[in-house]
Amino acid sequence: MSDNASLPTGPKSEAAKAKAALKNAAGNAEANFHEAAEHAKAAITEAANRAEAAIREGLETFRAQSRTYTDAAGHQLDVAQRYVSERVKERPITATLAGVGVGLLLGLLLAGRGGDRR
């Protein structure tokens, strides 16, 4: 007799083999799914960290550039203020008349927008 003769053969034996193979495949599939999920989680976390670092770096660059522009604008404002102050001191009547003219012009422009003029 051969060794195969001692093993049961037939529909019950085939069903048991299929059931064991199915359990084994399900276990492997579950393990593969968990492994893939962990890998995806790690990849997403890494991508989020890289994006956060890039955003942080861009924000720091923007802050540095805006500081430069703010300083330059402040300097230009100081220069303009000194210029106007000097011109007003040199010619106070001309400056006063210019101020009155600008005020009158603005008043007329704003009054014209207010409604119908009949």
Q: With respect to residue 88, please indicate whether it lies within any of the assigned structural domains.
A: yes
pTM of the model: 0.44
2 within some domain: no
Percent of the chain with pLDDT over 70: 87
Average pLDDT over residues 2-17: 66
| Residue 95, pLDDT above cutoff 80 | yes
- Give residue 114's pLDDT band: very low, low, confident or very high (50, 70, 90): low
31: its two tokens: 């393990």
Q: Which amino acid is residue 85, in one-letter code? A: S
> Could you tell me the residue range of the domain that residue 100 belongs to?
9-113
Confidence tier at 45 by pLDDT (50, 70, 90): very high
pLDDT surpassing 90 at residue 41: yes
Residue 22, token pair as written in the block:
């199915």
Helices (H) and strands (E) in the chain, counts: 2, 0
Whether 118 maps to a domain, the answer reads no
Distance CA 96, CA 118 (A): 32
Q: Tell me the DSSP string of 62-90.
A: HHHHHHHHHHHHHHHHHHHHHHHHHHHHH
The answer to whether residue 57 sits within a structural domain is yes
Q: 9 by DSSP, 3-state: which? A: coil
What pLDDT score does 117 carry?
Answer: 52
How many domains does the chain contain in total? 1
